[in-house]
Amino acid sequence: MSDPIVIDVSHWQGNINWPKLAQAGVVAAFIKATNGAFQTDDQYSHNVQGARSAGIKVGSYHFMLSSQDPDLQAEKFLATASGVQDLLPALDCEWDLKGKHDRWLDVPQKARIAMIGRYVAHIKKALGVNPIIYTATSWWRPMLGTATKYSGPKGAANFGECPLWIAAYTKIAPKVLPAPWANWSIWQYTGAGKLPGVAGTVDIDKLSGTLDSIMMPH
């Protein structure tokens, strides 16, 4: 039996034919909901409705911006995505580029840890679950070092309790992971996948466990 296909999409994929994806074996999709504290992805509602109608399990992710308050970002995500989730919510922690410059470099490391920690704490308080953290070892290690947790006046977060969604475009599963993770839950193994129903390319992911391992508890 082949592995279940999990994808992640945003407005970059344009108009998606969700029934074709379902026929191709896609069982779950993480759909970009929000970008920073003020922007909703243009295709979010359309993608959620399309995926649901095709019988595909839906999750939502938030792209973290380095320059905006993490609590406002969490509130924007919750206002946009609450109530539509089959899968755990996900937080995209990666390069925040302006041209070729990563704007996270303008934020001190301690403040980076606090921003991500506050977002995680906010989501856990609101939904009762730790969000999945999406990142790449080549980004997390330089930006957060060996940080494993955050504790502050607005809450506490243990990054190791968040399932890891690792981006690594390699032929074999990544063995080198950022602290504090020993294992990944989701592996994004390509950013240039081709599937029926998507005109261009699409990110494709593998699970380390079953689909139940990333589902919202009921």
Report how far Cα 91 is from the mean position of its chain's Cα atoms. Answer: 4
For 148-182, give one letter per residue: b (16+ CB within 10 A) or e: eebeeeebebbbeebbbbbbbeeeeebeebbebbe
The C-alpha angle with vertex 196 and arms to 173 and 28, in degrees rounded to 5, equals 55
Question: pLDDT, tens digit, for every residue of 109-144?
Answer: 999 999 999 999 999 999 999 999 999 999 999 999
For CA atoms 75, 6, 175, 100, the dihedral sign is negative
Cβ distance 139 to 177 under 8 Å?
A: no
On the CB side of 185, how many CA atoms lie within 13 Å of its CA? Answer: 21
The rounded distance, in Å, linking the Cα atoms of 30 and 104 is: 24
The string of pLDDT tens digits covering residues 141-150 is 999 999 999 9
- Note the pLDDT of residue 2: 62
**The whole model's pTM is what?**
0.97
For the chain (218 residues), the mean pLDDT of every run of 10, in chain order, is 85 97 97 98 97 98 98 98 91 98 98 98 97 98 96 94 98 94 97 97 96 93
115, 152 contact by CB (below 8 A): no
Domain boundaries, the chain: 5-214
How does DSSP classify residue 161?
G
Locate 68 and state its tokens: 């905006």
Assigned CATH topology for domain 5-214: TIM Barrel (3.20.20)
Give Cα 78 to chain centroid, integer Å: 14
Does the N-terminal peptide bond of residue 4 adopt cis geometry, omega within 30 degrees of 0?
no
